[in-house]
Copies of this chain bind each other. A is one copy, B any other.
Amino acid sequence: MNMDPSKAKVPPMKDLTIDNITENTIRINSQSSDARLTYVLERLVTHMHDFARETRLSTKEWMVAIQFLTAVGQICSDVRQEFILLSDILGLSLLVDSIDHPKPAHSTEGSVLGPFHSHEAEDMAHGDAMSHDPNGEPCLVICTIKDSHGNPIPDVKIDIWETDSSGHYDVQYADREGPDGRCVIRSDQDGNFWFKAIKPVPYPIPHDGPVGKLLEKLHRHPFRPAHMHFMFEKPGYDHLITALYVRGDPYETSDAVFGVKNSLLVDFHPADKMVAKEYDVAVGSAVLEHDFVLVSEKEASDLRAEKSRKALEALGRKVKLIEGLPVPDVD
A12 to B13, CA, bound (A): 50
- Do residues A1 and B74 form an inter-chain contact, with CB atoms below 8 A? no
Q: Is A35 an interface residue (CB 8 A)?
A: no
A278 to B29, CA, bound (A): 49
- Which A157-200 residues sit within 8 Å CB-CB of chain B? none
- Do residues B59 and A96 form an inter-chain contact, with CB atoms below 8 A? yes
- Do residues B76 and A219 form an inter-chain contact, with CB atoms below 8 A? no
- Do residues A96 and B58 form an inter-chain contact, with CB atoms below 8 A? yes
Q: Is A267 an interface residue (CB 8 A)?
A: no
- Apart from A21-B95, A48-B92, A55-B325, what 14 extra A-B contacts exist at CB < 8 Å? A1-B216, A1-B222, A5-B223, A13-B253, A18-B99, A22-B95, A25-B258, A29-B218, A32-B218, A43-B54, A48-B90, A56-B99, A59-B96, A62-B87
In chain B, what residue has the closest Cβ to A8? B254
A87 to B62, CA, bound (A): 9
Q: Is A318 an interface residue (CB 8 A)?
A: no
Q: Is A50 an interface residue (CB 8 A)?
A: yes
Stretch of A124-132, A284-292, A306-314 lying at the B interface: A306-314
Contacts of A39 in B (CB 8 A): 55
- Do residues B31 and A91 form an inter-chain contact, with CB atoms below 8 A? no
In chain B, what residue has the closest Cβ to A265? B14
- Do residues B253 and A12 form an inter-chain contact, with CB atoms below 8 A? yes
Q: Is A69 an interface residue (CB 8 A)?
A: yes
Contacts of A220 in B (CB 8 A): 2, 28-29, 31
Q: How many copies does the complex hold?
A: 2
Q: Is A98 an interface residue (CB 8 A)?
A: yes
Contacts of A58 in B (CB 8 A): 96, 99-100, 324-325
- Total interface residues in chain A, CB < 8 Å: 102
In chain B, what residue has the closest Cβ to A4? B221
Contacts of A28 in B (CB 8 A): 218, 220, 254
Question: What 0/1 pattern do residues 1 to 33 of A give for CB contact below 8 A with B?
Answer: 111111010101111111001101100110110
Residue in contact with A69 in the complex, picked from B61, B73, B215, B255, CB distance below 8 Å? B73
- Do residues B87 and A66 form an inter-chain contact, with CB atoms below 8 A? yes
A215 to B95, CA, bound (A): 28
A324 to B59, CA, bound (A): 13
A34 to B81, CA, bound (A): 28
A97 to B52, CA, bound (A): 10
Contacts of A250 in B (CB 8 A): 5-6
